[in-house]
Structure 1
């Protein structure tokens, strides 16, 4: 009976601590909640139980846009009418993903476009879920903690997959035009998003992925068994993409 009473008291104390934390960190908790919704909507796109896949797809993008806007406000604060503030906005990763959501809100659903949205939501929601669980007690919800540790252990691979998907979506937008599923401006607008990711100061994964892909294609082209015409096509493609890349900024 004593252990039961202690467990009940510990749970009550844990919930009270969690309540205080929520009241003191409303923005962070709101971001966590929206990210959880993003994950649920993404799952709903692949497994349409409560609504249609199309509705779930657009809801996931809207939720991601809301997260990005709230995160942008959190980092920059109030709006200022100045060139410096506008430049700061464009360098923020949250601005890039707000831009990303708006791009794909105006095209027909693309399964690949949900991957970065869902993976980022999983990564950030898992990180803050651990903070919330700690408010309940260090030994609470060990199953959830195990899942979170798996996500955090794979965080680098998740970020690499996100960057690869972002790059792959560039030629996909061109294919969508031919299929009549996207407007003529979509690839041009998306190109600017990719360039923003390439020059990101906080997240080098897109830039690194471009370098990895270039090294991979150059390695393939240098194989003795590679036909000359294919080798030439590979190097032409590498040169074309390299010319599109923004100039490297030196520290």
Structure 2
């Protein structure tokens, strides 16, 4: 557990010294949970620009980090180590109902033709409600946030190594970084896919992780992904 002095230094560097903040232990590592004040997205951007060595992420609901019942069974360091060698593609391809290329469970109706249509305005994590807190985790890699807390109602939670590994894969390939983790999980994306085959594989990955994400056929969603600089992954529990 970090010292009170160390936490205060982090809050000061983040410009959050006047905010209400609490410490929580996740397998003996300290995360800092800060109450939202004002515009949550603006708060997140400000903190992200100001601190090094740590990563801020918004959460909704906050009990994903404040209640130990929702913590991963494995320690963050263990999950991060597993993520380096985890074969995301193989794991998702072997899941029941997988739409990944090479899967035996591919369904032509779910895959679609790509002409089914989509609404770009539907893929906004803000529609799932205001974040309840800002969490600062003690590692700088954006994808490592998933080693401390996991998206609610997603396949990822069935295997705690998956969330960290898939987030690392998307960060490396598309510059995807988590902004909100929770009931729905939102990413900002600096390098959206430009090749349609790549976008279709990515769409199948999204649906494999959180089945209600696409809101249309997999191939139509793939076309949306080539135009989006943000993603929202969602599934019901």
Task: Report 1 or 2 for greater relative contact order, CA contacts < 8 Å, sequence distance ≥ 6.
Answer: 2
Structure showing greater radius of gyration is: 1
Is the pair's TM-score, using the shorter chain for normalization, greater than 0.5?
no
Higher strand share: 2
Q: TM-score when scaled to structure 1? A: 0.23
